[in-house]
Structure 1
Amino acid sequence: MKHSRYQHFYTPGRFWQKLGPRAQSVSRGVLEKALYLYYAVQSPNTPKWAKRVMYGALGYFIFPLDTIPDLAPLVGYTDDLGIMAAALATVAFYITPDVKAQAHRKLNDWFGTSAANAYTDA
């Protein structure tokens, strides 16, 4: 996978550093996918091959020099979204209800219950 070369850029600290101050400005769809990957990669039930895919996508997400700068209005996260969607399609089996619940709780913390509830059927 193309994004596997980015896996060494991922660390939990860098992930939260990227999201922390910008969470409100990032699309909820991008946040949801990033959080799915973040929580799934922490699960001991996720196999190593799937974690490598997740680390690659998360590494690309936090990579400071990605293809489309994240500060560009409207299109800044489209490349990140594409990479994360491809990774999620590959590892969908490991995005468990528990992983989704953790992500939705975090979305709820950031945006309130209406945002978290919007994703409960996803």
Structure 2
Amino acid sequence: MASDSFSSDESRVKREFWPTLRRVARSIPFAEDAVAAYYCALDRETPTHVRAALLGALVYFIVPFDAVPDFLPLLGFADDASVLAAAIAAVRIHMNDKHREAARRALAEEDLA
């Protein structure tokens, strides 16, 4: 059961992360961390428990219906940022230079930096 949920979360993040990020990247201060978390979560070398924590936080980021609606100016992504920041703080040791460099490159290529 848990494996099915993990796979479902991973598929959803792969499908919905970039469209969500493109829509909001310029209005959120944590875009690089979000993209680095994305790459860390999808990295098969990242431990499963770390991937699960990051995938959960990323799903919360992409789901439009959460504690504070994302369309509210300045407040909409505050809860998303908090959840993502907590997940990143918990697993920071596993987010390496490879993930951060991939994030910087992706943001530059998408012209979201």
| TM-score, length-scaled by structure 2 | 0.81
Per the alignment, residue 40 of structure 2 pairs with: 40
Q: Distance in 2 between matches of 1:101 and 1:75?
A: 29
Describe the superposition over 1:71-109 as per-residue Cα deviations: whole angstroms up to 9, x where unpaired: 111111110100011000111111100100011112222
Moved over 6 A (4+): none
Q: Distance in 2 between matches of 1:106 and 1:77?
A: 21
Per the alignment, residue 79 of structure 2 pairs with: 79
Structure 2: runs of 5 or more not aligned = none
Identity %: 32
Per the alignment, residue 52 of structure 2 pairs with: 52
Per the alignment, residue 92 of structure 1 pairs with: 92
Contact 1:38 1:58 in 2 (8 A): yes
How many residue pairs align between the two structures? 105
Per the alignment, residue 69 of structure 2 pairs with: 69
Match of 1:13 among 5, 9, 15: 15
Contact 2:68 2:79 in 1 (8 A): yes
| TM-score, length-scaled by structure 1 | 0.76
Displacement of 1:24: 4.5
Q: Distance in 2 between matches of 1:33 and 1:64?
A: 19
Displacement of 1:64: 2.0
Structure 1: runs of 5 or more not aligned = 1-5, 116-122
RMSD: 2.0
